[in-house]
Amino acid sequence: MSPQQRESAVTRVEAEPVVATVSVLKNEAELALADLFSKKRGLFIGSSEIALRREAAFARFAKSGLPSKRVEAWHYTDLRAALRIPLPIAEFPDNAARALARPCIEALRAADPQPVTRFVILDGIFDAELSTSHMPAGVSVTPTCNSLIAGEQRAVLAFEAGGLGENDPALNLNEAFSVSGVLIDIADGAMIDQPIEIVFLSSGAHRHAIYSRSSVRIGEGAVARIVERRCSNSSVGIQRNEALYLNLGDRAIVRHVAIAEADRADCIDIASTLLDLKEGSELTSTSLVHGGGLRRRQIFGRFNGPHARCSLRGVVLLGGKEHADTTIVMEHVAPNCESRETFNHIIDDEATGVFQGKVSVAPEAQKTDGKMKSRAILLSETASMNNKPELEIFADDVTCGHGATCGSLDDDQLFYVQSRGLPKAEAEALLLEGFAGEIILEIANEQTREVLMDDVRAWLSHRALRGN
């Protein structure tokens, strides 16, 4: 880096506007997306209300354009630079795609330590054949496309998603282009013991862009376990932009687990989770995320009723040249709610981790209790971590705080473990396993916990094999 470059790099906070005020579609990718939308707009399924929503969403996108690092919410993930050529939108999966997908789902079934109600979204389209056919009592399901064709209100609700993240450019594209996904309904008061797993799978049959929109409504007082799994079978680079709306009714209790398997370096994967929390509801979410070319997991949550609680915890494991961004916005608009975000990153090689977490508290959200913690361990000289924990507070009677740390493994701990007889590599693996375990061991279900810990151990031993 020349001194000039360094100077410009280090003076960024003052020198550069982080929020783009006016921007018109101008680069080739943006023009291609606009072209795609204008060609498709007459062909999309759905009621006129949905059509209007698509138009409005694309108009918002057109106004903002693809986010570059000048956009505060995308400061560390330059989608504009990464998405040079938008791929064509995925067609209905053909036989080749199905053939590639089937073994993946079979492998999942075989690995199941417990019975699971599974829904498969293959290349953005709900696949009934690969999904479970028998529903537990209290659970009903409709493919998003069927609901759109039937002109049902619940499809509108899934697209509307309580207005969550409506200024996010990626989510706007998702609303404009999604035609399928799955809409799940859990009846009021239902107690669903079996985990409900939604598998977002890309077949890898073609190079294309995948959009899907799914939702789960958890009725008043219902209790459910939901697993969100992102699998990629790609032998080719693809672009994914999929959204899941979790709508918790009053006093609903949800245990949520999200797993994102490693992606290819030429893949772009944006997964949006929208959380709508009503009075007295409770969501506990644990995630294990591997990296990809450009992976972004964004969570937009809002406390819409008092006394709701939400705890988001996650482990992110990155190596190679992977990039993973976790961005969370939790809006407190009702009083007496509690939010917790706890994320641990382990970053190796030349990988880059991003954690942005924003807790915003409206004037009426008195007695908000918000705590956020982000910790990162960097394992190589060339690994990077960017942390931006943000507080935006307009109510005075709150206790909010955040903490962020970043560094290498603790030398004293390492020495302590080695002094008990472990070689360095094993000592490191042990400490890293513990670091990930802090998050994962909080999962109530023992089998799920073990599956995730096995995943962590596999990653760590793979790392050891690579010769670190």
Partner 1 sequence: MAAVQETVDKVKSIDVDAYKYGFVTDIESDKAEKGLNEDTVRFISAKKGEPEWLTEWRLDAYRRWLTMREPTWARVDYPKIDYQDLYYYSAPKSMSGPMSLDEVDPELLRTYEKLGIPLREREILAGVQGASTRVAVDAVFDSVSVATTFKAELAKAGVIFCPISEAVQSHPELVRKYMGTVVPVTDNYFATLNSAVYSDGSFVYIPPGVRCPMELSTYFRINEQNTGQFERTLIIADKGSYVSYLEGCTAPKRDENQLHAAVVELIALDDAEIKYSTVQNWYPGDSEGKGGIYNFVTKRGDCRGARSKISWTQVETGSAITWKYPSCILRGDESRGEFYSIAISNGRQQVDSGTKMLHLGRNTSSRIISKGISAGRSNNTYRGQVFAHRKATGARNFTNCDSLLIGNKCGAHTIPYIESRNANAIFEHEATTSKISDDQLFYCMQRGLSAEEATALIVNGFVRDVLQQLPMEFAVEAQKLISVSLEGSVG
Shortest Cβ 408–partner 1 spacing (Å)? 5
Task: List alpha helices for 65-143, DSSP H.
Answer: 79-82, 95-111
Cα distances (angstroms) measured from residue 464 to each of 237, 327, 434, 452:
27, 29, 16, 19
Regarding 332 and contact with partner 1 (CB under 8 A), the answer is no
Site string for partner 1, 19-38 (x = CB under 8 A): x-x-----------------
Listed in sequence order, the residues at least 6 apart from 115 whose beta carbon sits closer than 8 Å to its beta carbon are 194
Question: Is the Cβ–Cβ distance between 170 and 67 less than 8 Å?
Answer: yes
Shortest Cβ 361–partner 1 spacing (Å)? 8
The whole-angstrom distance between residue 335's C-alpha and the CA centroid of its chain comes to 26
For the residues of 312-328, what is the DSSP string, one character each? EEEEEEE-TT-EEEEEE
Given candidates 2, 5, 13, 467, which one binds partner 1 under the rule CB under 8 A? 13
Shortest Cβ 173–partner 1 spacing (Å)? 24
For partner 1, how many residues bind (rule: CB under 8 A)? 48
Site string for partner 1, 404-443 (x = CB under 8 A): xxxxx-----------------------------------
Shortest Cβ 396–partner 1 spacing (Å)? 4
Shortest Cβ 392–partner 1 spacing (Å)? 5
Shortest Cβ 352–partner 1 spacing (Å)? 9
Site string for partner 1, 333-372 (x = CB under 8 A): ------------------------------x---------
Name which of residues 215 to 234 contact partner 1 (CB under 8 A).
none
Q: Cβ closer to partner 1: 106 or 392?
A: 392
Burial class of residue 138 (count of CB atoms within 10 Å of its CB; 0-12, 13-18, 19+): middle
Q: Cβ closer to partner 1: 3 or 421?
A: 3
Report angle CA 43, 164, 213 to the nearest 5 degrees. Answer: 35
Q: Cβ closer to partner 1: 75 or 240?
A: 75
Angle between helix axes 446-465 and 424-440 (nearest 10 degrees) is: 150
Shortest Cβ 227–partner 1 spacing (Å)? 32
Helix (H, G, I), strand (E, B) or coil at 175: helix
Shortest Cβ 415–partner 1 spacing (Å)? 16
Site string for partner 1, 70-89 (x = CB under 8 A): --x--x--------------
Report angle CA 388, 393, 397 to the nearest 5 degrees. Answer: 135
Task: List alpha helices for 11-92, DSSP H.
Answer: 12-15, 28-40, 48-64, 79-82
Q: Cβ closer to partner 1: 187 or 431?
A: 431
Q: Cβ closer to partner 1: 18 or 464?
A: 18
Q: How many CA atoms lie within 13 A of 29 on its CB side?
A: 17
Shortest Cβ 69–partner 1 spacing (Å)? 11
Shortest Cβ 306–partner 1 spacing (Å)? 17
Shortest Cβ 297–partner 1 spacing (Å)? 19
Nearest to 190 by CA among 244, 257, 135: 135
CA atoms of 4 and 60, how far apart (whole Å): 37
Listed in sequence order, the residues at least 6 apart from 441 whose beta carbon sits closer than 8 Å to its beta carbon are 449, 453
Question: Is the Cβ–Cβ distance between 214 and 144 less than 8 Å?
Answer: yes
Site string for partner 1, 373-402 (x = CB under 8 A): ---x-xxxxxxxxxxxxxxxxxxxxxxxxx
Q: Cβ closer to partner 1: 51 or 404?
A: 404
Q: Cβ closer to partner 1: 193 or 392?
A: 392
Q: Cβ closer to partner 1: 110 or 396?
A: 396
Q: Cβ closer to partner 1: 314 or 370?
A: 370
CA atoms of 262 and 230, how far apart (whole Å): 9
CA atoms of 256 and 24, how far apart (whole Å): 39
Query: What residue ranges bind partner 1 (CB under 8 A)?
Result: 6-7, 10-19, 21, 72, 75, 363, 376, 378-408
